[in-house]
Amino acid sequence: MKKLPLSYEDLWIQRWTSPFSRQSSFGVRHGLGHDCAVLSSFSKNLDLVLKTDAVVEGIHFTHSTPAALAGRKALARALSDLAAAGATPRAALVTAGCPNLRSAARLRQAYRGLSLLAKKFHLPIVGGETVRTRQLLLSISLLGTVPRGLSPNRAGAKPGHLLFVTGKLGGSWPRRHLTFTPRIAEGQWLVRNKFPSAMLDLSDGLGADLPRLARASRIGFRIHPKQLPLAPGTNLKLAFTRGEDYELLFSVPPKLIPALLRRWPFSTPLTPIGSCLPARQGYHTGRLPLRGYDHLR
Amino acid sequence: MKKLPLSYEDLWIQRWTSPFSRQSSFGVRHGLGHDCAVLSSFSKNLDLVLKTDAVVEGIHFTHSTPAALAGRKALARALSDLAAAGATPRAALVTAGCPNLRSAARLRQAYRGLSLLAKKFHLPIVGGETVRTRQLLLSISLLGTVPRGLSPNRAGAKPGHLLFVTGKLGGSWPRRHLTFTPRIAEGQWLVRNKFPSAMLDLSDGLGADLPRLARASRIGFRIHPKQLPLAPGTNLKLAFTRGEDYELLFSVPPKLIPALLRRWPFSTPLTPIGSCLPARQGYHTGRLPLRGYDHLR
């Protein structure tokens, strides 16, 4: 039986954050280890959703990436996590790390790209911070809202639930990782209609993110490689392991599936790719490797 | 007449954030250009307060700074901004930038220091993010709450209002900038009792932060150098320009001053240091220079 892998990133997070108490605090519905933090106790009808995400030159984009696209990507990645929480983005903070005055033009371009995407989602940028760093860096913090008690996390999938993905996988390079549209509308619709038992966004590839869902939900799974929706010009292995798809992966109880397929209102493809198993039945992916992009390796 | 200086940091922020619309959005009470963003429209009784702040090795602490103190400082700085908004901290997100696996022990120490201070303020750390960067970096995002409509900003000071500071100035080096206690309790008390017409926290020194308050409020001011509360072992000029005091600077309408002085319940010193003037009467500091620490210079 395949062992469920822990990426370097997962291991680091486990080791480093152990000083932070994981005891549930008043009003914290989901905390550390989830895509977003979800907080209740502020409003009768809404939960608050918090997310922070950073992109760094040399890791998430290169010196030759147009800065406007780097800025856009910084915000789009964070929005993708809000999509997985079914949240509506409400406010953004932008932290910029910048090496020197010569980088000012590049940073301004990055802000411009970021700003255009924010406008598309009616998202006000309400604050931020500038620090001097050795490489260009953009860190985004988002506040969102979701109807109270509805936000799924990674831990609700049960044996028998079907696994779905939105969109197509593996087409992130060379350009889509810079230009993708976060699945905010799809995530909101799914959550408001209570379809997903667990949901996350695919940032490191199905081969890395599916094990995260499985570990949190304590389930096994069987993926049908032939059913994976491939982007043009990619192959199965790349689609499984390359990452940066920023699509939604979610599980749905079987009785809800006819309604989901009938009512799905988007042109975005919606594809069943496999099913959840009892944990003891293990992890079945055909021959696809259970690994993805690991930016800390 | 002295000209009101703009630090490099102020200039950069003005230039770089111009792509971000400053139009007021629904529910955004204070946005860009304030210490914290303040959002209404989520709850009948509370406003939400958002703040992000980063510390970077080589700028805000050195390679020889004990990592636990660097982590503590990262959180304490952000809390100091919440103090200036009169807010109660409710949740924190921690973004760590880390060069390599060898830095893991140091980062873990930083988390430990940060975590201890968070516990002191009953503040849950609900999420975060780890990225690879060339230098150690900690970025903190905070969510806080404040009674609706009460949070002051920098723009409410009027001619005739008196200027106060908490604590003592100029004692930040070599150690206090790593060990100070953010004035959360003092800020909350001041705001709940509606004393400040404008408030900010002193991060870059009175010589840099007072002009920010004056510019936002469109006022002049007169500072009485002999009244500045000096920390032991410092001098007037250092106390005015060195920064990292993390004390509160606020203005109070004259009719409230007797009540403020009578009711102040803290052992923290509270000192009147000068008064607000009409803008045309200019900026009077004795011979103290209107400048402070400028980390982007």
> Which of B76-85, B114-123, B167-176 has the least mean pLDDT?
B167-176
Tell me which residue has tokens 């996390």. Answer: A153
Contact A15, A60 (CB under 8 A): no
According to the model, what pLDDT value does residue B48 have? 95
**B117 close to B70: Cβ distance less than 8 angstroms:** no
Residue A54 forms beta bridges with which residues?
A139
Q: Per the CB < 8 Å rule, is B111 touching A19?
A: yes
Q: What CA–CA distance (Å, rounded) separates A59 from A12? A: 17
Task: Please indicate whether, in this complex, the C-beta atoms of B127 and A46 are within 8 angstroms of each other.
Answer: no
pLDDT score of A178? 95
What DSSP string describes chain B?
Answer: -PPPP--HHHHHHHHHTTTS--SPPTTEEE-TTSSSEEE-SS-SSEEEEEEEEEEEBTTTB-TTS-HHHHHHHHHHHHHHHHHHTTPEEEEEEEEEEES-GGGHHHHHHHHHHHHHHHHHTT--EEEEEEEE-SS-EEEEEEEEEEETT----SS---TTPEEEEES-BS-IIIIIHHHPPP-HHHHHHHHHTT--SEEEE-SS-HHHHHHHHHHHHTEEEEE-GGGS-BPTT--HHHHHHS-----EEEEE-GGGHHHHHHH---SS-EEEEEEEEEGGG-EEBTB--S----TT-
User: Is ipTM over 0.90?
Assistant: no
Return the axis-axis angle of helices A104-120 and A67-84, rounded to nearest 10°.
40
Residues with Cβ < 8 Å from A224, sequence gap 6 or more? A273, A274, A286
Q: Using the beta-carbon criterion (under 8 Å), do B50 and A97 form an inter-chain contact?
A: no
Say if residues A208 and A293 touch (Cβ distance below 8 Å).
yes
Report the 10 Å Cβ neighbour count for B24: 11
Cα A62 to Cα A58, A67, A104, A242, A292: the distances in Å are 5, 9, 17, 17, 20
Would you say B24 and B50 are in contact if contact means Cβ atoms under 8 Å apart? no
pLDDT for A133 = 92
Question: Any bridge partners for residue B94, and if so which?
Answer: B128, B140
Sign of the Cα torsion B195, B198, B203, B208 reads negative
Q: Which residue of B has its CA nearest to A111?
A: B19
Phi, psi of B115, rounded to the nearest 5 degrees: -65, -40
Q: Is 70 exceeded by the pLDDT of residue B172?
A: yes
The pair of structure tokens assigned to A38 is: 């979800």
- Name the residue of chain B whose CA is nearest to A26's CA: B124
By percentage, how much of chain B surpasses pLDDT 90?
76
Determine the straight-line distance between the first and last CA of chain B, rounded to whole angstroms: 25
Name the phi and psi angles at A29, rounded to 5: -80, -55
Q: What is the pLDDT of residue B130?
A: 87
| A vs B: CB pairs below 8 A | 212
**Residue A96 · residue B20 · CB < 8 Å:** no
Domains located in chain A, CATH noted: 36-147 (3.30.1330.10), 162-284 (3.90.650.10)
- Cβ distance A76 to A182 under 8 Å? yes
pLDDT for B95 equals 94
Residue numbers in A near B43 (CB within 8 A): 42-43
CA distance to partner chain A, nearest, from residue B259 (Å)? 32
Please report the pLDDT score of residue A27 as a whole number: 73
Q: Are A201 and A86 in contact (CB under 8 A)?
A: no
Residue A143 φ then ψ, to 5°: -110, 130
CB B270 within 8 A of CB B229: no
Strand order in the sheet with A162-166: A198-201, A248-252, A162-166, A270-278, A219-223, A283-284
Q: Return d(Cα B69, Cα A110) in angstroms, integer.
A: 33
Please report the residues numbered 100 through 129 in chain A whose beta carbons come closer than 8 angstroms to any beta carbon of chain B.
Answer: 104, 107-108, 111-112, 114-115, 118-119, 124-129
pLDDT of B40 strictly over 60: yes
Compute the distance between CA of residue B106 and CA of residue B293 in angstroms, rounded to an integer. Answer: 27
DSSP string computed for chain A: -PPPP--HHHHHHHHHTTTS--SPPTTEEE-TTSSSEEE-SS-SSEEEEEEEEEEEBTTTB-TTS-HHHHHHHHHHHHHHHHHHTTPEEEEEEEEEEES-GGGHHHHHHHHHHHHHHHHHTT--EEEEEEEE-SS-EEEEEEEEEEETT----SS---TTPEEEEES-BS-IIIIIHHHPPP-HHHHHHHHHTT--SEEEE-SS-HHHHHHHHHHHHTEEEEE-GGGS-BPTT--HHHHHHS-----EEEEE-GGGHHHHHHH---SS-EEEEEEEEEGGG-EEBTB--S----TT-
Q: What is the pLDDT of residue A241?
A: 93
- Residue A2 tokens read as 């395949």
Percent over 70 (pLDDT), chain B: 90
Which one of A38, A39, A93 would you mutate to disrupt binding with B, by most B Cβ within 10 Å of its Cβ? A93
The whole-angstrom separation of Cα B110 and Cα B132 is: 16
The span from the CA of B200 to the CA of B81, in Å, is 7
Kindly report whether the peptide bond that precedes residue A174 is cis, defined as omega within 30 degrees of 0: yes
Q: Which amino acid is at B162?
A: L
Cα–Cα dist A77/A203, whole Å: 8
Average pLDDT over residues B104-125: 94
What pLDDT, on a 0 to 100 scale, did the predictor assign at position B215? 95
Query: Among residues A272, A113, A292, A274, which one has the least CA distance to residue A204?
Result: A292
Chain A partners of B104 at a C-beta cutoff of 8 Å? 12, 15-16
pLDDT of residue A2: 65
Contact B153, B198 (CB under 8 A): yes
Q: At what angle do helices B8-16 and A104-120 cross, to 10 degrees?
A: 40
A82 touching B, CB under 8 A? no
pLDDT per residue of chain A (297 residues) written in tens, 0 to 9: 567 767 766 766 666 666 665 544 657 777 766 679 999 877 889 999 999 999 999 989 999 999 999 999 999 999 999 999 999 999 999 999 998 877 888 999 999 999 999 999 999 999 988 888 999 999 999 999 999 999 998 999 999 999 999 999 999 988 999 999 999 999 999 999 999 999 999 999 999 999 999 999 999 999 999 999 999 999 999 999 989 999 999 999 999 999 999 999 999 999 999 999 999 999 999 989 998 876 655
Give the number of other Cβ atoms within 10 Å of residue B276's Cβ: 25
Yes or no, beta carbons of B52 and A17 under 8 Å apart: no
